[in-house]
Every structure is written in structure tokens, then in C-alpha cells.
């Protein structure tokens, strides 16, 4: 069963929350991070992407970047200021984007349970990205960005959340992208109820933040090596926000291919017609099993072939079938994790971004996908499977800097 642990959060004062809050470090490039933080010395991007305060061209993994992150973190703690709670707490974190709303429970979760698959994953991690965040975490002695978890919705937790969310929040602000972020601190009775309810949940699932979780697990090994035998350390847990599965919003991850592998558009269409169903379409797939393709100024609907009986759940996803039936045999895309001829666009950018890239010559063909469901994610994780790369885009996203966990 899962456990959630109250913790002594490091957080900004309410009046500074909007200025401190920053997009996750891994959804922006250095140039984008620099532009977002321009003119805002309190932006947490000065900590999470400290290369923005160094000369252009600085290697993001250079020693000076981590040293600058630590210095900027100390400065932010003084100047925002960031305050440490007097005692351990749990929080509710609400995200509102347009008409969509989701409320999660923020706290710390067990790395032992992560290691033993009570907290389940569906994505492979890259060593270079783990190395970066592990070093960042150990240099700051803090987990500064939450992992995004989901769990099967529980009526008891839903009822508590509804009661607390009807009271005034600790933070409440709209970010520049229009997403509204609100935070409540639970009282002692609420903490006890949530801890009990989570203790009856069989499994939690990482939706987003696999590298953060993996880095926390690696950092724990180093912290524990320096601790006394049997001594409990804060690094035994990692910071996360857990949302009920029925509130999650999953957007698709679209595909762009830079060239047609020497074919003309007409030749590709003819080859496609021998592999899958092809007909005129729109920029939106009609449902699971259908892909919208933009080629030579027109949208087409591709009906993918069903996966054979007994196919593992991850290999039956639309993104996997597109790879096997179209991208590999017709366009020569090998491993999509490493092939430089394929690119990916998160669904938040919409089909217009695909049209712009193809019409502008940056790509030759685009594929707009139907989103994967949370149920698919859970099924694959329960089976110990790994989802194809760039399968899911969760939106809205949590902000870094609102809650940090000192280790």
C-alpha cells in the first residue's frame, strides 16, 4: 500500500508566489528559460536553469552552473523570501486551465516504495538527465520540483478536498499562460485523514517526472551513505503531487518527420494506401486507431491496422502502431528515441504548430495523434511495460518553486 508523508516545506511568502513560480525545468530550452526569467530576479528558473545567468554558450552541465544554482537558491531564500514551515504539513494543489480543473495532494512519498514498484513507472530514463538532476539536487540539498503522480480516485479524499478547497487558499494566482495555481495547507485532522486514505491505495503511478524520481532515488543513496546506520533521513522520500485519475488531462504527443526519404508526396500516399486506410480528413483524429496526417498542404485520416491478438498493451498504442506500420517501413524512421529525422510536438501547441512546421519547410509530413488515456498508462505500468517515447503530454503542469523539500 502507498504512504504519504507530511514534510516541512520551503515555500515563498504568498505575495511572492507568482513571481517565484516557474515552469518545469525540462519543458523549456535555455533560450526560452532566459526569456521567461528576464526582468524577474525571483523566478525559480534562476535556480532550476542557472545557465541563464551565465554567458551564452555555457555548457548546462558545467561545474559553474551548479555552483550558480546553489548561490541563486540561497539568494532567493533571502530575498523572496522563502520560508520553512514550522512543522510537517501536507497541501492541496489546484490547477485550473480554462474549464478544466484538477486538485492533487502535495507531500512526500517513499523511495522504498518507488524502488519496490508500489509507485509505478512507465518510462525509461536517460542517464545524462539523471546525472544532471541528481547533481542539482545534491548541490542544493533540496528537491525543488515535484513529481506528478496519479492514483485511482478515492471518494474519501475527494470529499476532503472539496471541503478544504471551499476555504481561502494560501496561494492563488494566474501564471502568464493563463493557468491558475492555488495552494492550501491541511490542518492536523486533514493530514491524518489523507495519510490514512493513501495507506489504503494499492499503487501510485508516475505520470510525469520520471527523471526527478530517479534522481531522488540516486541522491538518497549518497545521503544515506553519509548517515548513521538506521538513521532516518529526509532523502528517504521525494516531493510529489498526486492527482486522482478521473481529473487528469492527457494531451497527445504529435510526430513530425523532416523528409520523405526520397519519395514524392504522391508516392508516399500510394505506399500508405497499401499499408493503412487513407481518406481525406481534418486536423483532429476521429478517435483511437486514427491518425491525422498533414502532407503537401492537405489533411488526411489514416486508419491504423489493429494490433494482433496478444500484443502487449504498450505495443498496441497508436504511437507504437504508427511506428510499426508507417514511420518505420515507409519513412525509414528507426529508433524514435535517437533518430534525428523525427521530432515531437506536445499537444498543448495544437495542430497549427504542425502546419507551421511543414509549410515552413522544417518538416515534410506531420502526424497528429489521439491522446493516450490514463487507463492505458495504468494498465501498461501494472504490466511492467514501458510506453513508447513521447506518448503522453500532461497539461496543465505544476510550477517549480512553490514547494521545495530540504534533504
Claim to verify: residue 119 and residue 215 sit in the same structural domain: yes
Q: What confidence category does residue 10 fall into, taking pLDDT thresholds of 50, 70 and 90?
A: very high
3-class DSSP assignment, residue 253:
strand
| Burial status of residue 268 (CB atoms within 10 A of its CB: 0-12, 13-18, 19 or more) | buried
Q: Is the residue at 382 inside a domain?
A: no
Q: For all residues of the chain together, what is the average pLDDT?
A: 96
User: pLDDT tens across 189-239, in order?
Assistant: 999 999 999 999 999 999 999 999 999 999 999 999 988 888 889 999 999
The pLDDT assigned to 320 comes to 97
Q: Which three cell numbers stand for residue 105?
A: 495532494
Is the residue at 161 inside a domain? yes
CB 142 within 8 A of CB 73: yes
State how beta strands 119-120 and 204-208 pair: parallel
Clarify whether residues 366 and 270 are in a common domain. yes
Residues 152 and 292 in one domain: no
Q: What is the mean pLDDT of residues 268-287?
A: 97
Model confidence pLDDT, tens digit, residues 342-368: 999 988 888 999 999 999 999 999 999
Instruction: Judge whether 388 lies within some domain.
Output: no
User: Quick one: 120 and 139 in the same domain?
Assistant: yes
165-175: pLDDT as tens digits: 999 999 999 99
Is 278 domain-assigned? Answer: yes
Of 9, 78, 20, 11, give the one whose Cα is nearest residue 46: 20
Q: Is residue 379 situated within a structural domain?
A: no
CA distance 117 to 109: 13
What are residue 279's DSSP bridge partners? 301
> In this predicted model, what pLDDT tens digit does every residue of 138-180 receive, in sequence order?
999 999 999 999 999 999 999 999 999 999 999 999 999 999 9
Domain range holding 146? 4-249+395-406
Where do the DSSP E strands lie in 59-188? 82-84, 91-97, 100-110, 119-120, 142-143, 147-151, 171-174, 180-185
Per-residue model confidence (pLDDT) at position 230: 80
Residue 290 gets which letter from DSSP? E
* Residues 70-118: tens digit of each pLDDT: 999 999 999 999 999 999 999 999 999 999 999 999 999 999 999 999 9
Number of domains in the chain: 2
- Torsion sign, CA atoms 83, 89, 90, 92: negative
Share of the chain above pLDDT 70, in %: 100
pLDDT at 228: 86
Poorest-pLDDT segment among 123-127, 246-250, 278-282: 123-127
Q: What is the pTM of this model?
A: 0.93
Whether 280 and 328 share a structural domain: yes
Written as nine digits, the cell of 207 is 505520470
pLDDT number for residue 160: 97
Please indicate, yes or no, whether residues 12 and 146 belong to a single structural domain of this protein. yes
Nearest alpha-carbon partner for 292 in 364, 357, 373, 365: 365
Amino acid at each position: 500500500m502507498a504512504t504519504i508523508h507530511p514534510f516541512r516545506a520551503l515555500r515563498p511568502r504568498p505575495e511572492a508566489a507568482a513571481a517565484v513560480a516557474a515552469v518545469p525545468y525540462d519543458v523549456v530550452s535555455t533560450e526560452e528559460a532566459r526569456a521567461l526569467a528576464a526582468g524577474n530576479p525571483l523566478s525559480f528558473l534562476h535556480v532550476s536553469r542557472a545557465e541563464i545567468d551565465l554567458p551564452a554558450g555555457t555548457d548546462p552541465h558545467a561545474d559553474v552552473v551548479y555552483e550558480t544554482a546553489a548561490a541563486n537558491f540561497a539568494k532567493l531564500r533571502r530575498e523572496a523570501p522563502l520560508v520553512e514551515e514550522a512543522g510537517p504539513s501536507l497541501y492541496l494543489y489546484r490547477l485550473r486551465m480554462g474549464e478544466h480543473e484538477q486538485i492533487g495532494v502535495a507531500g512526500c512519498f517513499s523511495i522504498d516504495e518507488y524502488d519496490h514498484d508500489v509507485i509505478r513507472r512507465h518510462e525509461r530514463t536517460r542517464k545524462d538527465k539523471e546525472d544532471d538532476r541528481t547533481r542539482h539536487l545534491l548541490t542544493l540539498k533540496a528537491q525543488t520540483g515535484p513529481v506528478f503522480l496519479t492514483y485511482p480516485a478515492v471518494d474519501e479524499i475527494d470529499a476532503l478536498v472539496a471541503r478544504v478547497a471551499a476555504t481561502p487558499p494560501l496561494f492563488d494566482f494566474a501564471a502568464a499562460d493563463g493557468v491558475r495555481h492555488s495552494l492550501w495547507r491541511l490542518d492536523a485532522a486533514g493530514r491524518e485523514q489523507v495519510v490514512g486514505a493513501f495507506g489504503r491505495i494499492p499503487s501510485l503511478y508516475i505520470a510525469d517526472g520520471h527523471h526527478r524520481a530517479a534522481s531522488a532515488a540516486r541522491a538518497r543513496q549518497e545521503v544515506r551513505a553519509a548517515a548513521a546506520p538506521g538513521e532516518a533521513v529526509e532523502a528517504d522520500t521525494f516531493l510529489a503531487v498526486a492527482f486522482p485519475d478521473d481529473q487528469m488531462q492527457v494531451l497527445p504527443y504529435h510526430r513530425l518527420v523532416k523528409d520523405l526519404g526520397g519519395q514524392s508526396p504522391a508516392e508516399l500516399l500510394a505506399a500508405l494506401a497499401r499499408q493503412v486506410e487513407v481518406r481525406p480528413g481534418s486536423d483532429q483524429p476521429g478517435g483511437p486507431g486514427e491518425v491525422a496526417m498533414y502532407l503537401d498542404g492537405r489533411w488526411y485520416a489514416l486508419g491504423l491496422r489493429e494490433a494482433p491478438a496478444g500484443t502487449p498493451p504498450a505495443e498496441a498504442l497508436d504511437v507504437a502502431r504508427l511506428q510499426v506500420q508507417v514511420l518505420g517501413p515507409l519513412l525509414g524512421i528507426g529508433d524514435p528515441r535517437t533518430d534525428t529525422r523525427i521530432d515531437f510536438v506536445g499537444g498543448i501547441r495544437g495542430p497549427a504548430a504542425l502546419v507551421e512546421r511543414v509549410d515552413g519547410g522544417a518538416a515534410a509530413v506531420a502526424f497528429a495523434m489521439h491522446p493516450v488515456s490514463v487507463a492505458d498508462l495504468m494498465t501498461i505500468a501494472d504490466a511492467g511495460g514501458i510506453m513508447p517515447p513521447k506518448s503522453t503530454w500532461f497539461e496543465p503542469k505544476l510550477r517549480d518553486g512553490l514547494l521545495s523539500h530540504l534533504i
